[in-house]
Amino acid sequence: MKARQNGRGSNDALDGCENDDPSGRLLAKVVPLNVRAREAKDRMTVVPARSSEWMRPVNSQEPASAIIEIDRVSQVFQTSARKDHLALSDISLTIEEGAFVSILGPSGCGKSTLLYIVGGFVRPTSGMAKIRGYTITGPGPDRGPVFQEFALFPWKTVLGNVMYGPRQQGVRTAEAEAQSRALIEMVGLKGFENFYPKELSGGMKQRVALARTLAYHPEVLLMDEPFGALDAHTRTRLQNDLLNIWERDRKTVLFVTHSVDEAVFLSDKVVMMSKSPGRIRQVIDIDLPRPRRRNELLLDPRYQKYVVDIERMFDESDEAGPLS
């Protein structure tokens, strides 16, 4: 992750941590490593990891339906020239439980920075992000990241990668294997359990990454352009697969993308951001029927209007710059 809290990231990182973590260090942070996670369930809505320092209670009044609250968050990074760069400015956003929300905006607007703040990998310069009423101060097993690059363990098989989370949570081997095999089948990789990442295509690797994240049962999926590096056909298939999984489990999803079509197809809401410094220009409710079928939506004038209107907003953002 190039943009670090000490501000020594390069200018390319100022969109906020858009790079992958191929060594799996970030994944290791979100998987609890001892039974204290289970003991805490009676005390907290969310499950703490090894240390409870990654979140602290703000108040006892939890919102009725909000799972994520972002309150006046701003983020300043320091460039290599020791100058401050405002990446995010005064972001406030509430995400309801079970919603599929896409963050859309031009390159450099801070989409990934915002996602990483919710993930607990970056602390905001000002403001706060909360999950279920608790301030986020670090990664936790209740939030599962899925990156554009696959961050798989190259020395583990498909099955070994997917089993990693449950085993670290203390699930017995036989149970972890059964759960993992079911997830591997769900993402369409049955028969590839003993393959290594180097033996898989890009789309297959991303399926493994999704299954591995789902294996430790996060409440929220944080997806940072997960299909951006894939060819159009594979990307379309994985979008359909993701929606099928979401329809089944209804996990909350926060999804970063540059694609207007992808955002409209997948989402309940689209958060449109201005160019840097990133501000929220508009939150668009996507009122389209579910379950969604691409061949039907492409003929739906409502879908077409959403795409055209948001594309126009993109053009206006490029011309007018950020909102004041």
pLDDT digit string (tens) for 123-153? 999 999 999 999 998 999 999 999 877 789 9
At residue 245, the 3 state secondary structure works out as helix
Domain of residue 174, CATH code = 3.40.50.300
Report which DSSP code applies to 123.
-
| Domain presence at residue 3 | no
Neighbours of 19 (CB within 10 A): 17
pLDDT digit string (tens) for 97-133? 999 999 998 888 899 999 999 999 999 999 999 999 9
Neighbours of 68 (CB within 10 A): 24
The average pLDDT across 32-40 equals 35
- pLDDT of residue 201 exceeding 80: yes
The average pLDDT across 59-74 equals 76
| Domain presence at residue 6 | no
The average pLDDT across 171-183 equals 94
| Domain presence at residue 49 | yes
| Domain presence at residue 34 | yes
Give me the sign of the Cα torsion angle 310, 92, 114, 162. Answer: negative
pLDDT digit string (tens) for 213-242? 999 899 999 999 988 878 888 889 899 999
| Domain presence at residue 253 | yes
| Domain presence at residue 5 | no
| Domain presence at residue 158 | yes
> Using 50, 70 and 90 to split pLDDT, how confident is the model at 65?
confident
| Domain presence at residue 311 | yes
- pLDDT of residue 18 exceeding 70: no
Number of domains, the chain: 1
Compute the distance between CA of residue 121 and CA of residue 133 in angstroms, rounded to an integer: 18
153 touches 24 (CB < 8 A)? yes
Q: What are residue 300's phi and psi, to 5 degrees?
A: -85, 120
Domain that holds residue 92: 11-320
